[in-house]
Structure 1
């Protein structure tokens, strides 16, 4: 055992003890975060506008601070972007994480000196949690790669801005710098295909032990490696045993990944966003990710099926239930207040609080009142693939409301790596799995409002071509699993 791996084990134990303290006192921990946020932001414009100085309870906060999305918060954000101080949080942000908005062009999410360290600590602690649980630490002696956006930053009114993953690249601790790939020069390449090709060349002869990124883009990297080496990635990188990912569910990719790697590797799921680092997988045996309750973020939860009603109830951590689909609402030490990030979560454990990401509140299908969410389509596809040789590269689902003939249906656009022998039989398996999960969908099938799903095959690299056509190839960009319209579907028809 190297000194580095021994040090990792000792540090992992220290962090585990600290984590247990707040994880075992969730309600008190969140109350402390809540009070601290209000105190720190009392003299900001937002704090004065919403009378933070008079708020002492969550109920008062909920009355005085409505739930907002980016558009609703934008009048404040625009002042911060213009260079004004003490608007949403004290002083000015350190950075803006620039993301693409669906309705308003670019979105500028503030990162402050108080919030930024939590992004870095959470990623570190996720790895240390794995070390503590498994006792595996040898990977720290190998090379690690993080597929991410360019670290080149712009500047706007004295505040640097860029993609979150590019900003984070500036905070890699010194003890990881020698192990980290790709090189700074390669990381700065903007064109995604050019960048991946350069990463293949840089890593091909290295002792890679940890690989991290969004599964769809890591898959592209693995395919290029395999084509160059003419052997599985696991044979090329004999010490590669840990995959770290976030952004999308890994399960639909798992079979394809294991085929590309040639064996199963351990995986750690993360739940980061520009707005905050919310959770990480703290156990290889338990389902879900540990919700980070002590990271400068106060959480609220609104039941997804009530979200679009007038004045839906806002729940705090002590009031949530297992298996319910909640819209995640956050208030943070970056100056986001009762902010709807758009993600939905379900709790898999209440001791400690663990969540899975179940989808996006805007990414669903309810053209007929079926309320289908991302988790359901991913689970249905996974169930249909079990025990078969079918492998899927990517997929998305859209409603077909006005078919040329017959009843309406859900159209599944699937890019297969290995196709099923009988496509109609495979479609029926997916449909049956959907009906088991979603009673509304089942009622529509039984009532002859919908017919069973129809699969449309997408050509190899078809989804990459779609993402490229909208300027979102690579990096942190993700293909929506669901749409309530036909915008993506029309690209393939």
Structure 2
């Protein structure tokens, strides 16, 4: 055992004990965070406008602070961007995480000196949690790669701005610097395809032990490695045994990844966003990710089915139930207040509180009242592929409301690595699984409002071509699993 792996195990035990302390006292922990946030922001412009000095409990907060998305909060954010102080949080942010919003154009999410450390600690603690549970720490002696955006930062009115993953690159601890890849120069390459090619060249002969990134973009890296080496990634990197990912559900990619790697590897799921680091997988045995209740974020939850009604009930952590689809609402020490990040979650455990990301509140199909969500289409595809050698690179789903003939249907656009022998039979398997996932969809099929779903093949690298065409290839960009219109569907190159 190396000295580094020995100390990693010791540190992991310390962090585990600290985590258990707040995880076993969830309501009290969240109440403490709530009071801290309100009192700290009492004298900010937002705090004055919303009478924070009169807020003592959650009911007061609900009365005074409505749920907002970025557009609704924008008047305040714009003032922060202009360089004004004490608007959403005390002082000025130290960074803006710049994201590309679908309706808002560029979004500037503030990161403060209070919020930034939690982004770094959460990623670190996810790895330490894995070490504590499994006892595996030898990977700390190998090379690690984090596929991320460029760390080159701009400046706006004295505040640095860039992609979150690029900002985080500036915070890699010194003890990991010599293990970290790619080089700073390669990381700064802006064009994603050029960057992946350079990463392949840099890492090809290295002892890679940990690989991290959004699955769809890691997949591109693995494909190029396998092509260059003419053998599976797991044979090229014999000590590669840990894959860390976030942003999308890994399950639809798992069969393809295991084929590219040539064997199974452990994985850790993360739930990070520019607005905060919300959860990480704390157990290889249990489903879901540990919700981080002690990280400067106060959580509220609104049932997805009630979200678009007037004044839906806002639940706190002690009021949630298992298996319900909730819209995640956050208030943070970066100055986001009752903020809708757009993600929906379901609780898989309440001792401790663990969640899965079930989809996006704006990414659904309800053209006929079925309200199909991301988790359902992913689960249905996974079930249909079980026990087969079918492998899927990427997929998305859209409604076909006005077909040339017959009833309307859901159209699944799939890019296959290994195609099914019978496409129609495979479509029926997905359809049967979907009908189990969503009772409203089942009713529409049974009532002959919809016909069974149709699978349409997308050309090889078709989704990459689409993402490139809209300027969203690589980085933290993700393809929506499903849409309520045909904007994506009609732009895809078909096989």
User: When the two structures are superposed, what TM-score results if normalisation uses the length of structure 2?
Assistant: 0.99
Q: For 2:460 and 2:76, how far apart are their aligned partners in 1?
A: 44
Counterpart position of 1:189: 189
Structure-1 separation of matches of 2:340 and 2:393: 30
Matches within 5 A, 1:98-137: 98-137=98-137
2:425 corresponding residue in structure 1 = 425
Partner of 1:31: 31
Aligned residue number for residue 19 of structure 2: 19
Shift of 1:103: 1.3
Structure 2 Cα separation of the partners of residues 235 and 280 of structure 1:
29
SS in 1 for 2:310: coil
Distance apart, 1:31 and its partner CA: 0.1
Match of 1:96 in 2: 96
Partner of residue 346, structure 2: 346
Q: Runs of at least 4 residues of structure 1 off by over 2 A?
A: none
Question: Please, which runs of 5 or more residues in structure 1 have no aligned partner?
Answer: none
TM-score under structure 1 length normalisation: 1.00
Is 2:367 aligned against 1:362?
no
Compute the displacement of 1:101 (Å).
1.1
Structure 2 residue matching 1:487: 3-state secondary structure: coil
Matches within 5 A, 1:273-422: 273-422=273-422
1:224 equivalent in structure 2: 224
Q: For the residues of structure 1 that align with 2:53 and 2:59, how far apart are their CA atoms?
A: 14
Q: Does 1:469 align with 2:469?
A: yes
Residues paired across the two proteins, number: 493
| 1:202 Cα offset (Å) | 0.2
In 1: Cα distance, 2:280 partner to 2:71 partner? 28
Once the two structures are TM-superposed, the CA of residue 126 in structure 1 deviates from its matched residue by 0.1
How far off its partner does 1:414 sit?
0.1
Aligned to 1:10: 10
Deviations, residues 356-379 of structure 1 (Å, cap 9, x unaligned): 000000000000000100000000
Distance 1:78 1:40 in 2: 21
Q: Name the structure 2 match of 1:260.
A: 260
SS in 2 for 1:91: coil
- 2:488 is paired with a residue whose SS is helix
Matched residue, 1:68:
68
Cα offset for 1:249?
A: 0.2
Following superposition, the deviation at residue 159 of structure 1 comes to 0.1
Where does residue 271 of structure 2 map in the other structure? 271
Cα shift readout 1:143-189 (whole Å, capped 9, x = no counterpart): 00000000000000000000000000000000000000000000000
Distance in 2 (CA, whole Å) between partners of 1:175 and 1:193 is 30
**How far apart are the structure 1 equivalents of 2:419 and 2:380?**
16
CA distance in 2, matches of 1:54, 1:217: 47
Indicate the residue corresponding to 1:84 in structure 2. Answer: 84
Offset of residue 104 of structure 1: 1.8
Q: Does 1:244 align with 2:244?
A: yes
Separation (CA, whole Å) in 1 of partners of 2:260 and 2:436: 32
In structure 2, the gaps of 5 or more residues are none
Note the alpha carbon deviations across 1:182-233, whole angstroms, 9 max, x for none.
0000000000000000000000000000000000000000000000000000
CA distance in 2, matches of 1:62, 1:127: 36
2:384 and 2:219 mapped to 1: Cα distance? 21
Equivalent position SS for 1:313: coil
User: Whole-Å Cα distance in 2 between the matches of residues 483 and 103 of structure 1?
Assistant: 14
